[in-house]
Amino acid sequence: MKKLEKRSWAEPFKIKVVEPIKMTSKEHRLEAVKEAGYNTFLLKSEDVYIDLLTDSGTNAMSDYQWAGMMIGDEAYAGSKNFYYLWDNVKKFYGMPYFVPTHQGRAAEHMVSQILIKKGDYVPGNMYFTTTRLHQELAGATFVDVIIDEAHDPGDPHPFKGNVDVNKLDKLVQEVGADKIPYVCIAGPVNMAGGQPFSMANLKEVKSYCDTKGIDLWFDATRAVENAYFIKTREEGYADKTITEILFEICSYFEGLWVSAKKDLMVNIGGIFATKNKDVFEQARNLVVVYEGLHTYGGLAGRDMEAMARGMEEMVQYDNVRARIGQVEYCGNRLEEFGIPFVKPIGGHAIFLDAKAFLDHLPQDQFPAQTLAAEIYIDSGVRGMERGIVSAGRDPKTGDHRYPKLELVRLTFPRRVYTQAHIDVTVESIASVYENRKNIKGLKMVYEPKYLRFFQGRFDRL
Ligand code: F0G
């Protein structure tokens, strides 16, 4: 008889509505992926069985959020949903000023345009694709100041999202504090594998920046997950609530932006928020040029209501634990098969280490792009490339950037898939792993100018 060794957790919700998904044959998938130029972004979603492309806008809303959609106040100006959302931004992120945007990158655009001058430098804890592009388009050079451990997929550091203050100081010495409009901090760090920063590190960065007169700005897109990791990994936080930890994190920042399509468990929405009244006034003016009036920012009233309600749900401990617990479950099962992926297991996704997985392919044969296509062909599970294609080209030299991390991301939408879906996914990857030596690389046949990973096309070598 088996002895009871551990007690399991289960999701704090049950399923009320289901959406059928299509099962496809391998022949169909071979054809579909070829037509998509071996780029999983170009697949039709109806050809996908389990969609782990992203956790962005793909979440299942609760009945409470759906009920909120019915009370959308679709007034052009001054919608009541806007004021409710603003109250919640103050309550959960602690920022007095708020401008809604249709999604995260619209807020990144405003932050970059308002704060950056041509020739500036923006240090950050690893780049994110859209964040860095908006910084570059505003005339800045992004400088990575994350700790070295973040670039090593096998390093077990519990806070791989931490900033290396020595790297930051080196940049300040080189270019001068007046060339640094802000330090850009994200948590958990998407491209590092969903790795969090610690509160201790954040405080250290804050006190360093205070001595230099540099502000901190926060990409709070998945901040709730960072708060969960602080609660479960950092001394002194076990008894604090997610709400308290999130509030403390935000207190060290001058302002922040959020892609609400993640933590807030909605399908669309973004947030720009700050303590700085002058920056707020500029954002409120800029938003009407690109998004819509400052009381809707490209959103319908009902979307703002769903965001406000999602915010109340995102800080519930059981929700976050189940969300991260599912990612952990997937990681632990992959571990049984010896499949290489980024450790520790991250917040929103598993990042397969494509360099180790397909160690016979050089990086310019796009191992991660190849692996994502092969997993799709095997089972219809869709992940995404996060390696040399996502890293793009150096704007100065025009050469590929060769990132140390060459990863395939399997991202978990919130409240969408069951444990059985995860089992099917793991077994598909294990099957591709057994057959890995027969896999050939890809060549790029079409490359768009911006964010090439979205629309680039490839062919088999
Ligand atoms: N910041 C982070 C950390 C993100 O992950 C994203 C989006 C954005 C900003 C931009 O927000 O998409 O609402 O405009 N990440 C998605 C992803 C696309 O799949 O990781 P957006």
What's the pLDDT tens digit per position in 161-180?
999 999 999 999 999 999 99
What's the pLDDT tens digit per position in 297-330?
999 999 999 999 999 999 999 999 999 999 999 9
Whether 341 is a known active-site residue: answer no
**For ligand 1, atom 16, which residue shows the shortest CA distance?**
56
* 221 Cα to the center of ligand 1, angstroms: 7
Whether 357 is a known active-site residue: answer no
182 CB within 6 A, ligand 1: no
What's the pLDDT tens digit per position in 111-153?
999 999 999 999 999 999 999 999 999 999 999 999 999 999 9
**For ligand 1, atom 5, which residue shows the shortest CA distance?**
190
CATH 3.40.640.10 domain range(s) in the chain: 64-314
221 CB within 6 A, ligand 1: yes
pLDDT recorded at residue 55: 98
**For ligand 1, atom 9, which residue shows the shortest CA distance?**
104
Whether 76 is a known active-site residue: answer yes
351 CB within 6 A, ligand 1: no
Kindly give the number of the ligand 1 atom that is closest to the alpha carbon of 57: 13
Average pLDDT, the chain: 97
What's the pLDDT tens digit per position in 241-269?
999 999 999 999 999 999 999 999 999 99
Distances (CA, A) of 231 to 92, 251, 301: 16, 17, 34
101 CB within 6 A, ligand 1: no
What's the pLDDT tens digit per position in 410-455?
999 999 999 999 999 999 999 999 999 999 999 999 999 999 999 9
pLDDT recorded at residue 100: 98
Q: Is the pTM of this model over 0.85?
A: yes
Confidence class for position 390, pLDDT limits 50, 70, 90: very high
Exposure string for 172-185, b = 16+ CB within 10 A, e = fewer: beebeeebbbbbbb
* 181 Cα to the center of ligand 1, angstroms: 22
Q: The tokens 């910084």 sit on which residue?
A: 135
pLDDT recorded at residue 198: 98
363 CB within 6 A, ligand 1: no
Whether 219 is a known active-site residue: answer yes
CATH no. of 26-55+317-460: 3.90.1150.10
For 14-21, the CB contacts below 8 A with 24+ separation are 16/63, 21/48, 21/49, 21/50
What's the pLDDT tens digit per position in 48-87?
999 999 999 999 999 999 999 999 999 999 999 999 999 9
Contact of 267 with 261, CB cutoff 8 Å: yes
Kindly give the number of the ligand 1 atom that is closest to the alpha carbon of 54: 19
250 CB within 6 A, ligand 1: no
Measured distance CA(89)–CA(246) in Å, rounded = 12
At 97, phi and psi to the nearest 5? -115, 140
pLDDT recorded at residue 49: 97
Measured distance CA(247)–CA(250) in Å, rounded = 5
Whether 262 is a known active-site residue: answer yes
Catalytic residue among 219, 263, 303, 353: 219
CATH 3.90.1150.10 domain range(s) in the chain: 26-55+317-460
Contact of 402 with 391, CB cutoff 8 Å: yes
* 17 Cα to the center of ligand 1, angstroms: 27
127 CB within 6 A, ligand 1: no
The full 3-state SS of the chain, as one line of letters, equals CCCCCCCCCCCCCCCCCCCCCCCCCHHHHHHHHHHCCCCHHHCCHHHCCEECCCCCCCCCCCHHHHHHHCCCCCCCCCCHHHHHHHHHHHHHHCCCEEEEECCHHHHHHHHHHHHCCCCCEEEECCCCHHHHHHHHHCCCEEEECECHHHHCCCCCCCCCCCECHHHHHHHHHHHCHHHCCEEEEECCECCCCCECCCHHHHHHHHHHHHHHCCEEEEECCCHHHHHHHHHHHCCCCCCCCHHHHHHHHHHCCCEEEEECCCCCCCCCCEEEEECCHHHHHHHHHHHHHHCCCCCCCCCCHHHHHHHHHHHHHHCCHHHHHHHHHHHHHHHHHHHHCCCCECCCCCCCEEEEEHHHHCCCCCHHHCHHHHHHHHHHHHHCEECEEECHHHHCECCCCCCECCCCCCEEEEECCCCCCCHHHHHHHHHHHHHHHHCHHHCCCEEEEECCCCCHHHHCEEEEC
Structural tokens at position 103: 């999604």
Measured distance CA(440)–CA(432) in Å, rounded = 12
pLDDT recorded at residue 248: 98
Whether 386 is a known active-site residue: answer yes
Whether 24 is a known active-site residue: answer no
Nearest to 141 by CA among 397, 419, 404, 422: 397
Q: Which of 129, 190, 303, 385 to mutate to test the pocket of ligand 1 (most atoms within 8 A of CB)?
A: 190
Nearest to 57 by CA among 219, 220, 257, 262: 262
259 CB within 6 A, ligand 1: yes
CATH classification (class only), 64-314: alpha beta
190 CB within 6 A, ligand 1: yes
Structural tokens at position 391: 């890293």
